[in-house]
Chains A and B, each alone.
Chain A
Amino acid sequence: MAVVVEPSSSDLQIHRLPQPKYIDALRWLPHLSALDTHIALALHDSHSAASSIEIHALKTPPNPPSLDLQSSWTCPSRVSSLRVSQTPQKPLIAASTFDGSLHFLATHPVNLSIQSDTSIEEKGFHVGPIWGVDLLGSGGECVTVGEDGRVNLVTVGESRLSYRRVFDSEGLVSYTAAKWASPAEFATGGLGFSLQWWDHRKPGGAVSQFKGGWGRGGSSGIVHSIDIHPSRKHTCVAGGSSGTVFAWDLRWPEQPVVLSGIGTGERENTSPSESEVWEVQYDCFVHSSNISNVSSSRILPVMMCSEDGILAVVEEGEEPAELLAEPCAINSFDINVQNPSTVICSLEWESVAIITRQ
């Protein structure tokens, strides 16, 4: 097992809030005032086999943290991916499902109650599960990718949704993650640690491909999540099987920078995890102040969560810093953009964990 830097307990406050349902995904909602924080949970009730999206108000210190249900919306199928637009004036929640449908929930900016919902549920949209969905910052456009190998672009109008097919691999390739880089470009991830770079102005396929040039055959894996930093649009960071977190710089497309992972062969990396990395996000908490000083080729710190119960921050050339080590899987997490010191994550054992860093 790799060496990890243990955080001193005084630096972290961890609260676990058991929920009565399984948490498929969770996100912070952007908030207008510093006093109220809200989160969106995609839940699955194993007993009734019903799925829902719930908005909870999060009570934070000095009160003991607790979640208060504000509003709830019943989802026709289990949620596979959840995104929230970062627009406090008009928060929009996008949820994709295992049945290939996509749902948008418009929320009230102040009390964050669910005001309206629109959906695409038609057969031709996606066949089978949608694995990745991402909203463009303002929430006007949304990209969806799925197991069926389709890449769709959804335009969110006032009352209706429209979509167009960017690409259809007809099942020859499956995509598992998607992330916008700019209003015209986005990246996707897939099987065999592959990454694709798309420009929806250029039809006919991906403009660039990362071939996942390591871990062939038996040790190959799947990309589960990707992230792109707004100030580093040329770099895409991805997390996937075997504890792998790597960065792909479009300027040097043949040479990925491996931040974590076993079985990389070339050099010994310290890896906080050995199993599936379910989610990666740039951690804006650590270097929020001096980001401009860091060389543009250096990969910024990345937070990851894994099937073996690790929530950690990995950084190029540094020992990984572990935030949480749970006896069960950590299936997703989200860093509060407006207050990066707080992180929420969903645990396999039907709990939400709230971590506050000092």
Chain B
Amino acid sequence: MPGLVSDSGDSLVPFSTEPLPPPLYRLRHAPRPPHSRIAISWARGNCLRVSFFTNPSPPGDQSGGKVVEVSVGSGELHDVQRRRIAYGSVSPFALLQSQKNSMAALAGMGVGSSTNVAEWWEHVMAFSDDISSLLGNPKRATRSIIEDEKVVLKGCQEWVCLKVRLAYSLVQGYGDSEKHPKNLTWVSSRERQIFYGVGLISSVRRGVSIPLGVSFESFNNVEVPTCLKAAWELIEIFYAEKQSQAWLPERLVDWLASYDCLLSTTEGTVHSKLVDLQKELATLQVIENDQKYWQGISSALAVGWLDIVVKLLRLHGSYQLDQLGNRETENGLVEAIAVLVSKMPRMRPKLADGTLGECFNTKPEFMKAWERWRGQITKLECSAFWVQCEHNQTREGLRKLLQIMLGNTNSIIDASFNWMELYVSHFLYIKPFTMGLEGMDSLAQKCMQLKPSSHSHELMRLMLGIIGENTEVVLAECSRSFGPWMVAHAIELLTIGSSGAETLLHEEQYNLGGISIEELYRLVYAQVLSSHALTWQASEIAPVYLMSCATQGTRLLEILLYKQPVQQNQILLKTLEICRLYELDSISSDIMKIAGMRQWKHGRKGSGVFWLQKAQDEVRLNRISQQLFDYVGRSISDNGFKQWEGLIELLGQEAKTVSGLDFLHKYRDFKKSLQQITDGKASDAARQAVESLILLMKNPSTPQKFWLPLLHDSVSSL
């Protein structure tokens, strides 16, 4: 962007001065050139209106030009999804606000605050869960077994099926050993090798693919994870999950497992490498000879995807029945590593289904187990069996895995592709005892130096803001990368448990016109909502957010309400309903007046009178009554009276309070009676007619111009 000041390093939010590629939008129904002029203006919402003007055409040619609208869609989400998120987040947001208000009221009365704080954490967590589930559920696929597209021939398939059955029966006999590898001791692995060698593994290789975290969900037509969801979860981990502070590193491991696929830059990711490997697995004959196989395992191990490591290791050729005899040592080593990987101690309360490792809740227990586990690895590393292992690639590959588990920085750097992955590996193997945010920022800086990247991903920037404990940067990143929705909702999480952030966000800022940052972002979001008919149009979404803005919300809501269209009854009624909900009576009556005058001017007199009556607008009713009398004088004939009936009913008895319209009522009664007289009915009617006439003559509101017709009517009835 020309003229943009460069980032001198002291700016609040770090920004890059490199120009971003301009987004391109394709016009689908644009007319063919030449055009003499093109005009571009904003239409509703995110639409740009592009008007094409053709050259002055010869007379008779009708084509004067064309107007097309192009939606300046942004980011990964479609408008429909965006609206769905907007709809879904209203209730959690409104609930949280009301909880906040009631707690503030309690605090004002001096009711215990310590329980309140705990309760508030729960409320915020529930809010975060609601929002999170709204953004989709791309959790790790625990059983994403999909058919390989390159399944071997049919005959073989039967063979495989048979083997799988056999294998399953073995599993049953083994006390569900496949699910709980830790039940198997190191000594009994010989038998395990036989059981695996029988066919489960080969069947896995031939017919069934390995689960790779979230990756294959997209292939299975399950929701693809979005950056929005990933960002929300990241904020949730660091701000809202009070309990998780102790096992923050493990939460990051999980987070990366779910969203690594989003971090793809030019450097690639562990996820993308594993996807490539997965594609090749079916074609490779002897996979352990392939370097990619070992690289894939190393990478998966580095970021802690232990289940994938074990699955891949057991595809090793030495497990095959015909190979077992002469590759015994090699196979023993592979299995040894697999068992060690699956027994890795982890500082976390529990593991999701299908993930491996041993959980420890407290730090002392974890440290003890960690030392023991490391001891086993060191022992294996020094083992004499390596010399006997004749297969070069296997030996090297396995030793590299050991190095990663021992925390060798270089091996870890080799195995990871970006600094986030390296960062997570650090927590897993180099700094396993990290707790809380302590030292996280400097470690991130170190990882970024080790794995420099030309392009900074939005999630990485957000991460840096969070671990740098800089609320303003986090807000700026949220706003810049994920839009107003994200900021308006994430603020609820940012303020919890941090009085500094709370002061920053809730303090009224002079340079913001006396509103707080929180209110500012809510106003921005509400304006975005209001720009779209559906999220405004009495879906009551924008008003909910506006009413949570103490200083300027109501005023902005009033302005927006005035701008709503009154042409359509339904939309008008929905607007009035918002006025009723928020007790904006004067706005409501103004809108009714606008609607009433519009209806009146468009010839729908009944409707006009109805709305003006509802607005109790005496002045206008008086004014239009004069026009009505003119109209009545012209059109009321004895047979045309039916038309008036409805309007007069609408005016009702109460009409006397409003202007001279009650005259119509009496006039109608008089006419009715006259009609009955001419129909030759009872003398009662005549008496009534006389009464009506007297009433009419006495009434000061009877317009002068009706005196003559009244006289005429009376005389004729005599």
Contacts from A to B (Cβ < 8 Å): 18, 20, 22, 46-47, 98, 128-129, 131, 147-149, 167-174, 176, 190-192, 194, 196, 204-206, 209, 211-212, 216-218, 220, 222, 241, 274-276, 307-308, 327-329, 348-350
Across the interface, do A171 and B650 meet the contact criterion of CB distance under 8 Å?
no
Across the interface, do A276 and B577 meet the contact criterion of CB distance under 8 Å?
yes
Q: Report Cα–Cα, A196/B606, bound state, in Å.
A: 15
- The smallest beta-carbon distance between B443 and chain A, in angstroms, is 43
Contacts from B to A (Cβ < 8 Å): 71, 79-80, 83-84, 87, 90-91, 94, 532-534, 538-540, 568-569, 573-574, 577, 580, 602-607, 610, 613-614, 616, 639, 642-647, 649-650, 652-654, 657-658
A172-B643 in contact given A194-B649, A194-B650 (Cβ < 8 Å): yes
A218-B87 in contact given A172-B605, A192-B650 (Cβ < 8 Å): no
- The smallest beta-carbon distance between B666 and chain A, in angstroms, is 16
- The smallest beta-carbon distance between A227 and chain B, in angstroms, is 19
Across the interface, do B573 and A276 meet the contact criterion of CB distance under 8 Å?
yes
Contact residues in B for A220 (Cβ distance below 8 Å): 610, 613-614
Across the interface, do A327 and B614 meet the contact criterion of CB distance under 8 Å?
no
Across the interface, do A216 and B540 meet the contact criterion of CB distance under 8 Å?
no
Across the interface, do A149 and B577 meet the contact criterion of CB distance under 8 Å?
no
Q: Report Cα–Cα, A176/B568, bound state, in Å.
A: 12
Interchain CB contact (< 8 A) of A217 among B87, B540, B616: B616
Q: Report Cα–Cα, A22/B87, bound state, in Å.
A: 13
Interface centre among B94, B573, B649 (most CB of A within 10 A): B649
Contact residues in A for B649 (Cβ distance below 8 Å): 192, 194, 209, 211-212
Across the interface, do A191 and B602 meet the contact criterion of CB distance under 8 Å?
no
Across the interface, do A174 and B607 meet the contact criterion of CB distance under 8 Å?
yes
Contact residues in B for A211 (Cβ distance below 8 Å): 649, 652
Contact residues in B for A176 (Cβ distance below 8 Å): 569
A128-B646 in contact given A192-B652, A216-B653, A328-B87 (Cβ < 8 Å): no
Across the interface, do B574 and A171 meet the contact criterion of CB distance under 8 Å?
no
Q: Report Cα–Cα, A348/B539, bound state, in Å.
A: 6
Across the interface, do A191 and B87 meet the contact criterion of CB distance under 8 Å?
no
A-B contact pairs, 11 of them (CB 8 A): A22-B534, A169-B643, A171-B606, A172-B605, A191-B606, A196-B646, A220-B614, A222-B573, A276-B574, A327-B94, A328-B539
Contact residues in B for A191 (Cβ distance below 8 Å): 606-607, 610, 650
Contact residues in A for B616 (Cβ distance below 8 Å): 217-218
State the 6 A-B residue pairs at the shortest beta-carbon distance, nearest first: A173-B646, A205-B642, A349-B87, A172-B647, A191-B610, A171-B604
Across the interface, do B645 and A128 meet the contact criterion of CB distance under 8 Å?
no
Contact residues in B for A20 (Cβ distance below 8 Å): 80
- The smallest beta-carbon distance between B347 and chain A, in angstroms, is 40
Interchain CB contact (< 8 A) of A147 among B532, B534, B577, B604: B604
Across the interface, do B87 and A147 meet the contact criterion of CB distance under 8 Å?
no
Interchain CB contact (< 8 A) of A204 among B87, B94, B642, B652: B642
Q: Which residue of B lies closest to A194 (CB)?
A: B649
A170-B613 in contact given A192-B652, A307-B577 (Cβ < 8 Å): no
Across the interface, do A128 and B604 meet the contact criterion of CB distance under 8 Å?
yes
Contact residues in B for A349 (Cβ distance below 8 Å): 87, 539
Q: Report Cα–Cα, A40/B420, bound state, in Å.
A: 51
Contact residues in B for A131 (Cβ distance below 8 Å): 569
Contact residues in B for A173 (Cβ distance below 8 Å): 606, 643, 646-647, 650
Q: Which residue of A lies closest to B615 (CB)?
A: A218
Q: Report Cα–Cα, A241/B646, bound state, in Å.
A: 19
Interchain CB contact (< 8 A) of B602 among A128, A217, A241: A128
The number of A-B residue pairs with CB atoms under 8 Å apart is 129
Q: Which residue of A lies closest to B652 (CB)?
A: A216
Across the interface, do A350 and B87 meet the contact criterion of CB distance under 8 Å?
yes
Across the interface, do B538 and A329 meet the contact criterion of CB distance under 8 Å?
yes
Contact residues in B for A348 (Cβ distance below 8 Å): 538-539
Across the interface, do A209 and B646 meet the contact criterion of CB distance under 8 Å?
yes
Across the interface, do B606 and A149 meet the contact criterion of CB distance under 8 Å?
yes
Q: Report Cα–Cα, A327/B657, bound state, in Å.
A: 39
- The smallest beta-carbon distance between B677 and chain A, in angstroms, is 20
- The smallest beta-carbon distance between B69 and chain A, in angstroms, is 9
Q: Which residue of B lies closest to A48 (CB)?
A: B69
- The smallest beta-carbon distance between B312 and chain A, in angstroms, is 36
6 extra A-B contacts, CB within 8 A, seeds A47-B79, A194-B649: A47-B71, A169-B643, A173-B647, A204-B642, A217-B652, A220-B610
Q: Report Cα–Cα, A209/B647, bound state, in Å.
A: 12
Contact residues in B for A212 (Cβ distance below 8 Å): 649
Q: Report Cα–Cα, A58/B91, bound state, in Å.
A: 28
Q: Report Cα–Cα, A211/B655, bound state, in Å.
A: 14
Contact residues in A for B610 (Cβ distance below 8 Å): 174, 191-192, 220, 222
Contact residues in B for A190 (Cβ distance below 8 Å): 606, 646
Q: Report Cα–Cα, A308/B604, bound state, in Å.
A: 28
Interface centre among A18, A172, A216, A217 (most CB of B within 10 A): A172
Interface centre among B538, B603, B616 (most CB of A within 10 A): B603
Interchain CB contact (< 8 A) of B83 among A167, A174, A274, A350: A350
- The smallest beta-carbon distance between B536 and chain A, in angstroms, is 11
Q: Which residue of B lies closest to A328 (CB)?
A: B539
Interface centre among A98, A212, A216 (most CB of B within 10 A): A216
Across the interface, do B650 and A46 meet the contact criterion of CB distance under 8 Å?
no
A209-B573 in contact given A128-B602, A191-B610, A328-B540 (Cβ < 8 Å): no
Contact residues in B for A274 (Cβ distance below 8 Å): 580
Q: Report Cα–Cα, A218/B71, bound state, in Å.
A: 43
Q: Which residue of A lies closest to B646 (CB)?
A: A173
A46-B532 in contact given A170-B643, A194-B646, A327-B91 (Cβ < 8 Å): yes
- The smallest beta-carbon distance between A207 and chain B, in angstroms, is 11
- The smallest beta-carbon distance between A187 and chain B, in angstroms, is 14
Across the interface, do A46 and B533 meet the contact criterion of CB distance under 8 Å?
yes
Q: Report Cα–Cα, A128/B567, bound state, in Å.
A: 10
Across the interface, do B580 and A275 meet the contact criterion of CB distance under 8 Å?
yes
Contact residues in A for B71 (Cβ distance below 8 Å): 47
Interface centre among B91, B569, B654, B658 (most CB of A within 10 A): B569
Q: Report Cα–Cα, A224/B83, bound state, in Å.
A: 28
Contact residues in A for B83 (Cβ distance below 8 Å): 350
Contact residues in A for B534 (Cβ distance below 8 Å): 22, 46, 350
- The smallest beta-carbon distance between B649 and chain A, in angstroms, is 5
Contact residues in B for A350 (Cβ distance below 8 Å): 80, 83-84, 87, 534
- The smallest beta-carbon distance between A332 and chain B, in angstroms, is 11
A169-B606 in contact given A98-B568, A211-B649, A329-B538 (Cβ < 8 Å): yes
- The smallest beta-carbon distance between B550 and chain A, in angstroms, is 23
- The smallest beta-carbon distance between B620 and chain A, in angstroms, is 15
Contact residues in B for A169 (Cβ distance below 8 Å): 606, 643, 646-647
Q: Report Cα–Cα, A147/B538, bound state, in Å.
A: 22
Q: Report Cα–Cα, A217/B94, bound state, in Å.
A: 34
